[in-house]
Amino acid sequence: MMNTKDTAVIYYSKYGSTAQYARWIAEALGPGAELIDARARKLKYRDLAPYDTIVYGGGIYSGGIKGVELITKNWSKGLASKRVIVFAVGVAVDIPANRDQCMEINFKQRLISWTTGDAAADAGASAPAPDDASASGSAPASDAPASGSPDTSASGSSDSAGGAGSSDGTAAGSSESLGLKELLSQKMMPVQCFFLPGALDPAGLKGLDRHIMNLTRKMIGDGASGSTADNADVVRRLNEGCNLVDKDAIRPIVEAARS
């Protein structure tokens, strides 16, 4: 018989911001919370099964939450019956359109991908048509500031330029009460997702992250995403760097994990 545990706080952090938030969340939740670095070992559902609550955090890259497949691919294996909370870290999540795009890429398109596979066939349900998804999986050029480069820690190392600002959770419904047909009608995985402000040190970016940053900066500078005050602020963050990490932003996540 498997012994259940309280909470797993799992994080995937390249530059430090997501790791910092995960540590704060685990500390706030107390001894019942176990902190797990998803980069240290490849996690599978059997590693998640003993926990009642799963908190997962990752930086935003091109609209995608790094490593969130750990949640979406294991949803039908048992996570749907647990309390699941996701937090996404970056430097442009104060822009509502960026948050909406992130939700669609990570929890609408992945739902469609899942339901077109064995789960839908087993349930005898039809999956949504491909054109139900308004994005292809990578961020459109106009939304590139939502993710472009990695999230960074309070110490100045980076982790994901995907968001800064809103810590409100967005969820499509209760994970415990929705069956496959209800999920299909809702067209969104019922995962509660919070957006936390990150940090960015342009000089600390490496390889592909640096390339994506330069491309994002160029697209915004050329007006590909329109001339708006939001874009001007994002350009300033990308050019000068920023540190928006805020410990107070974890409060709604801690409350959700305790509820």
Q: Which two tokens stand for residue 68?
A: 């969130």
pLDDT digit string (tens) for 160-181?
A: 444 333 445 555 444 444 455 5
Residue 136 has what pLDDT? Answer: 29
Is the pLDDT assigned to residue 20 strictly greater than 90? Answer: yes
Per-residue pLDDT, averaged over 136-154, amounts to 37
Residue 66 has what pLDDT? Answer: 96
Of 62-66, 76-80, 214-218, 251-255, which gets the smallest average pLDDT?
214-218
Residue 108 has what pLDDT? Answer: 86
Secondary structure E strands in the chain: 5-12, 33-37, 51-61, 64-65, 83-90, 150-151, 159-160, 192-197, 199-200, 242-243
Q: Considering only CA atoms, which of 136, 164, 143 is closest in space to residue 224?
A: 143
**C-alpha–C-alpha distance, residues 93 and 165, integer Å:** 5
Instruction: Report yes or no on whether pTM surpasses 0.85.
Output: no
Cβ–Cβ < 8 Å for 17, 159 = yes
Is the pLDDT assigned to residue 113 strictly greater than 60? Answer: no
**C-alpha–C-alpha distance, residues 229 and 227, integer Å:** 7
Q: Residue 3: phi, psi to the nearest 5?
A: -85, 130
**C-alpha–C-alpha distance, residues 254 and 27, integer Å:** 10
